[in-house]
Amino acid sequence: RAMSSVSIPPPACLLKPLEAPFRYLFGPGPSNVPPRILAAGGRPIIGHMHPEMFEIMNDIKKGIQYAFQTENNMTIAMSGSGHTAMECAIFNTVEPGESVLVAINGIWGERVAEIAKRMGANVHTMVKAPGGYFTNQEIEQALAKHKPVLFFLTHGESSAGIAHPVDGIGDLCRQHNCLFLVDSVASLGGAPLYMDKQNIDILYTGSQKALNAPPGTAPISFNERACKKMSSRKTKPVSYLLDMTHLSNYWGCDGKPARIYHHTGPVSGFFALRESLAILAEKGLENSWRHHKEVAEYLYKGLEDLGLKLFVPDKSLRLPSVTTIAIPSGYDWREILAYLIKYHQMELTGGLGPSMGLVLRVGLMGYNCSKTNVDLVLLALADALKHCHKSKA
Ligand code: PMP
């Protein structure tokens, strides 16, 4: 045998073909990606700085403006998952030592508080148990007390299954000279949200939920107020990769004649994101919102007929895209989830962060949102309840 210069052999696992089973992705994301979007992502790639790519990025920008209902020029897609947009929003609009107020009623507020603490912000939190929400009066009192430069709220709290009311909060933030940052990763396309009309200063989402694109890109938009705050910074954002001065140039938002290389964007991910935004544009936002609501109501009825209890009692607060079910008493939620994967090739999930051990979660988003899929979920759940172990207690 000839002597080899490498001492680490090729891994045996990689000499076998890739195996990725079919799954019904009926948890809180990622969702199944329809063939049209998969095909867009599978096209031969082009250079990230080619003029055709810039056209595609311009189309994406228009698609995000439509999906967010905003005219903001500073509208881009992050190269990265929803967390990239969370960090981009905080890193660029907050400077170390500044006060930030975070509403926590599930895991997403916890995460944003952690991100803001890490970059040296002075973080104040308002906390409710998962399923709870904040009144405008409570928010106004906290704004007056902590005088934050930024207030964070999750619109679609996917760990709790809440669609948080947004009306009036943007106005309160203006009165208190504070930016209003909203997370719509789990709600965009699934529940009404109007960035400009609702005076949201910074809004972000993810690609892998109701947009049905693969995970890995994240739309974000900043309005004039947010841009003013960013341009009056005294310090540079802690992250080079997420610095909006560079990203706004890469996305052609800074009015400069040329785009200069900053990083290599996920070309295939942008192809897929463009296609997903095209599908939303063809369907229409209002149709998409209505459709999610109708299918969610059909799901609620079916779950109740199975004897299951919805975790959020107030129907008007439920997030249409992600439904939380109280764990049926006597059952081990992990066993139910494992049963669904094993016998139904179906992913539902448990809770996350503070809702862990409290809920099962069903996400039917975008392409996955249909009564046929509700029927599949209900059949699978009925089967799991019949076959999983139930304690007598
Ligand atoms: N915010 C919300 C409301 C989410 O549901 C998620 C994803 N589950 C995120 C943020 C984070 O997104 P990602 O996993 O793409 O980083």
ipTM of the complex: 0.99
Q: Is 206 in the pocket of ligand 1 (CB under 6 A)?
A: yes
Task: Report CA(353)–ligand 1 centroid distance (Å).
Answer: 12
Distance from the first to the final alpha carbon of the chain: 66
For residue 390, what is the DSSP state?
B
Domains of the chain, each with CATH number or no CATH: 24-30+285-387 (3.90.1150.10), 35-281 (3.40.640.10)
**For 33-45, what is the mean pLDDT?**
98
Length of the chain: 393
16-37 pLDDT, tens digit per residue, is 999 999 999 999 999 999 999 9
The residues facing 204 across adjacent strands are 183, 220
Task: Report CA(218)–ligand 1 centroid distance (Å).
Answer: 10
Q: Whose CA is nearest to atom 13 of ligand 1?
A: 82
Q: Is 161 in the pocket of ligand 1 (CB under 6 A)?
A: no
Answer yes or no: is pLDDT of 393 > 70.
no
* pLDDT at residue 310 in the model: 98
Task: Report CA(237)–ligand 1 centroid distance (Å).
Answer: 22
Task: Report CA(88)–ligand 1 centroid distance (Å).
Answer: 14
Instruction: Give the atom of ligand 1 at the shortest distance from the alpha carbon of 155.
Output: 3
Matching residue, tokens 């403006």: 65
Answer yes or no: is pLDDT of 333 > 70.
yes
Work out the pLDDT band at 376, boundaries 50, 70, 90: very high
**For 179-205, what is the mean pLDDT?**
98
Work out the pLDDT band at 3, boundaries 50, 70, 90: confident
Answer yes or no: is pLDDT of 392 > 90.
no
209-236 pLDDT, tens digit per residue, is 999 999 999 999 999 999 999 999 999 9
What is the spatial distance between Cα 10 and Cα 21, in angstroms, rounded to a whole number? 24
**For 141-161, what is the mean pLDDT?**
98
Answer yes or no: is pLDDT of 93 > 90.
yes
- The percentage of the chain sitting over the pLDDT mark of 70, rounded to a whole number, equals 99
Provide the H-helix boundaries in 223-284.
224-231, 244-250, 267-283
* pLDDT at residue 1 in the model: 61
H-helix or E-strand containing 352? none
What is the spatial distance between Cα 277 and Cα 40, in angstroms, rounded to a whole number? 12
How many CB atoms lie under 10 A from the CB of residue 107? 20
* pLDDT at residue 2 in the model: 74
Q: Is 81 in the pocket of ligand 1 (CB under 6 A)?
A: yes
Pocket test for ligand 1, best of 105, 110, 158 (most atoms within 8 A of CB): 158
Of the given ranges (82-86, 277-281, 388-392), which has the lowest mean pLDDT?
A: 388-392
Classify residue 212 by burial, with Cβ atoms within 10 Å: 0-12, 13-18, 19+. Answer: buried
E-strand ranges in the chain read 24-25, 74-79, 99-104, 122-127, 150-154, 156-157, 162-163, 179-183, 202-204, 217-222, 322-326, 346-347, 349-350, 359-363
Under 8 Å between Cβ of 190 and 292: yes
- The percentage of the chain sitting over the pLDDT mark of 90, rounded to a whole number, equals 99
Matching residue, tokens 């192809």: 271
Q: Is 311 in the pocket of ligand 1 (CB under 6 A)?
A: no
